[in-house]
Structure 1
Amino acid sequence: MAAIDYTIPDLIRHHTEILFIGINPSSKAPKKHIGHFFGGRGNCFWKCFSECGLLDGIYGPLDDVYIHNKYNVGFLNLVPRATASCKSLARDEILLRVQQTLAKIERFKPKLVCCVGKFVYQHLIYSPRGKVAFGIQSTVFPWENGQGASPVFLMPSTSKIGIAYSEDDKKR
């Protein structure tokens, strides 16, 4: 299957309950999932999110806009451009997108930021090395004008590359 180039627009509004931040879309996503968050082959985000107790049903990538509207849950990718692997992302591109993502958090003031994978978290805090534990972090992302801050939760990557973690770990 040939890789497909596309981007996914952010789904975010002011005071989103949870803002999930992924790395970037998969260029190998099934055709019907193109343009939707966490739609790559083997990505278990939607299964885990549906079973973690925060939603009232089973949902998939095609439900991202519905979930955004019904539950006030936001989604964005650190880099909105699809690639076969995050290893295809240039360092300068990541750094630019980190600045833009932090500005969005500052402006939209999500109640909780959930970094889907250590790659996202470590880049957002400008510390791509070192050990971090999953769960709530001591890091917060401040809002504009000092009006508050978004606490940060780190969960394992839900893509196939995060296979070292069980689905139970990813649901927590």
Structure 2
Amino acid sequence: MINDLLHRGLVVVFIGFNPSPTSSATGFPYAHRSNRFYRLLHSSGLTPILHPPSDNPHMLAWYGYGFTNIVARTTKRADEIRPEEWRAGRLILKDKLSLYKPIIACFVGKGVYQKYAERSKVDFGFQECTVLPDMMEFVAPGTSGLVRMDFAVQTSIYEELAKKVEELRKKGYRPPRQN
């Protein structure tokens, strides 16, 4: 099972489709060996070192990064998620984002954002028209080993997010304190 890693005042909340069997078994998001998530964080400049999935619980304090999914149920593939799960997940996610108010909601995969925003066409990057006011929404490529996008192209998209995070840090953003 995967628990959300959320706290008020996060700089980025990474939002996935749902937990994979590997992530569910380990308790760490993006844990499958073929998943590029942590490599992309590092190569884009979002983290200074390449972290293993087991470092995930510390990323909130170290960087102000949180984690959640639009659907909680574990599946091998996102296409196994039922329509009613998407509908319920969209509402639950809106409630979570409204409660925790991250500066940036990063949707890891166009499909995640399409389900959340109920839009059929979206582009990668920051969205001009956001679902929730006062929150930046960023659409990033999926990181699963099933995604057939060139790693350099994926990295360039994540670099746009890294630049914004760096701007926020220069303006004084600090990760939230945990009790």
TM-score past 0.5 threshold: yes
More strand by share: 1
Find 2:80's aligned residue among 83, 88, 91.
88
- Report if the CA contact (8 A) 1:113-1:153 is conserved: yes
Partner of 2:168: none
Letter in 1 for 2:125: G
Letter in 2 for 1:161: L
Letter in 2 for 1:168: A
Deviation at 1:23, TM superposition (A): 0.4
Structure 1 gaps of 5+ residues are: 1-6, 143-147
Aligned length: 156
Deviation at 1:60, TM superposition (A): 1.9
Q: Distance in 1 between matches of 2:64 and 2:130?
A: 20
Q: Distance in 2 between matches of 1:74 and 1:52?
A: 17
Q: Distance in 2 between matches of 1:103 and 1:137?
A: 19
Deviation at 1:30, TM superposition (A): 7.4
Q: Distance in 2 between matches of 1:159 and 1:19?
A: 18
Q: Distance in 1 between matches of 2:124 and 2:46?
A: 18
Find 1:137's aligned residue among 127, 145, 154.
127
Q: Distance in 2 between matches of 1:54 and 1:42?
A: 19
Deviation at 1:154, TM superposition (A): 0.7
Partner of 1:4: none
Q: SS state of the match for residue 127, structure 2? A: strand
Percent of aligned positions that are identical? 28
Partner of 1:111: 103
Deviation at 1:80, TM superposition (A): 1.9
More helix by share: 2
- Report if the CA contact (8 A) 2:23-2:30 is conserved: no
Q: Equivalences for 1:72-83 in 2 at 5 Å?
A: 72-83=64-75
**Does residue 152 of structure 2 align to residue 168 of structure 1?**
yes
Cα distance, 1:30–1:121 mapped onto 2, change above 3 Å: closer
- Report if the CA contact (8 A) 2:10-2:103 is conserved: yes
Q: Distance in 2 between matches of 1:133 and 1:73?
A: 23
Letter in 1 for 2:153: D
Letter in 1 for 2:90: V
Letter in 1 for 2:150: S
Structure 2 length as normaliser, TM-score? 0.81
Find 1:10's aligned residue among 1, 4, 22.
4
Q: SS state of the match for residue 68, structure 1? A: helix
Q: Distance in 1 between matches of 2:33 and 2:79?
A: 17
* Aligned-residue CA RMSD (Å): 1.7
- Report if the CA contact (8 A) 1:8-1:37 is conserved: yes
